[in-house]
Amino acid sequence: FQVAQTGPGQLELRVLVDGDLGEETAAQARTAVRGGMGEDFTVEVRRVEALPRSKGGKYEEFICEWQPG
């Protein structure tokens, strides 16, 4: 998995899973992320084929893609 901050108060949880994620599992994942990051965040769960790595080849669980103003 990877959590990306995509905007102010917005997170995207990217998960690698075989098949359908299912709404119940997605809801549980959203609750878990909010529990760790704060209830003020909107969390979108997205199934992905691959997770991006940094330029150095490292896998990062938490990234910020939001560029303020």
Residue 12: pLDDT band with limits 50, 70, 90: very high
- Cα(45)–Cα(30) distance, integer angstroms: 7
How far is Cα 45 from Cα 12, in angstroms, rounded to an integer? Answer: 6
pLDDT in tens, 25-61: 999 999 999 998 888 999 999 999 999 888 899 989 9
| The 3-state secondary structure of the chain, one letter per residue | CEEEEEECCEEEEEECCCCCCCHHHHHHHHHHHHHHHCCCCEEEEEECCCCCECCCCCECCEEECCCCC
With 0-12 / 13-18 / 19 or more C-beta atoms within 10 angstroms meaning exposed / middle / buried, residue 20 is: exposed
